[in-house]
Amino acid sequence: MGRLDGKVAIITGAGTGMGQTAAILFAKEGAKVVVADCVAEWGEQTVMMIKEAGGEAIFIKVDVSKTEDIKKMINTAIDTYGKLDVLYNNAGVNTGYGAPTIEWTEEDYDKNMDVNVKGVWLGMKYAIPEMIKAGGGSIINTASVAADAAQRGSCIYAASKGAVISMSRVAAVEYAGQNIRTNVIKPGTIATPMTLKVLKHDPEAIKRIEREIPQGRLGKPEEVAYLALFLASDESSHITGQKLTVDGGMEADSHLRLSN
């Protein structure tokens, strides 16, 4: 028996990194997975990996900032599998990484807010009615430790992830009575293609970040995926409105240093 047997899950940004790892894990645990990504080649690769492992999945190309794309994504899940149990709003961008506050551009602002905030809201907006029909569900939204810690060079990205936490809390309270749980995962620095891409301009960046993490290393995508699996499963049935951090102790250590 898999931990997600009988469940239908949508995962955005599932073509690579944490989203791909979660999609493969969810399918392994019995879920039927709708792989959503803005890059068809990546998403189709994830579906192929799932099917080769004996799982069930379909791909849909989605720009999460577009209402019609989100509607199509939700409708595809319903039309294909008959219901929706899990929405993992994992897609995200960080276009202005490393820039001081005054150097972020309006284009950076618009892109981060459109994908990271609007995309999460649209996902919840159109998924929740279907979850109510199904008798409940689990929504998992991806934020970041940057939302709660002042990381230099993360101004608008941090703001967008703080908004994700606030929206998630409200949705958790509003729909708890309909058996819909909404929780947030706050990854630290995870060794994903996106993270490695934004860090490549500074050869010493990874070493510096590793020194700031009490465990002494970057996180692995599967370490986030297993938390998402727990939140998607019935094992977390009394957990809603929470933010859970996967960062090797980085945030705890920063709070400790600030208080001493």
Q: What is the pLDDT of residues 11-33, one digit of tens each?
A: 999 999 999 999 999 999 999 99
Task: Residue 88: name the closest of 52, 108, 62 by CA.
Answer: 62
Mean pLDDT of 141-166: 93
DSSP state of 86: E
For the ranges 96-100, 113-117, 207-211, the maximum mean pLDDT occurs at 113-117
Q: What pLDDT was estimated at residue 1?
A: 87
Domains and CATH numbers, the chain: 8-259 (3.40.50.720)
Instruction: List, in order, residues 6 or more apart from 87 with CB less than 8 Å away.
Output: 9, 10, 123, 124, 127, 131, 137, 138, 139, 140
Q: What pLDDT was estimated at residue 259?
A: 44
For residue 257, name the pLDDT band (cuts at 50, 70, 90): low
Query: What tens digit of pLDDT does each residue of 120-150 get?
Result: 999 999 999 999 999 999 999 999 999 998 8
The number of C-alpha atoms within 13 Å of 5 and in the hemisphere containing its C-beta is 3
Q: Which comes out higher in pLDDT, residue 243 or 151?
A: 243
Query: What tens digit of pLDDT does each residue of 52-100 get?
Result: 999 999 999 999 999 999 999 999 999 999 999 999 999 999 987 778 9
Please report, rounded to a whole number, the percentage of residues in the chain having pLDDT higher than 90: 82
pLDDT over 50 (residue 153): yes
Helix 155-175 to helix 119-134 angle, to the nearest 10 degrees? 20
Which of left, alpha, beta for 216 (phi over 0: left; psi -120 to 50: alpha)? left
**Catalytic residue set:** 157
pLDDT over 50 (residue 260): no
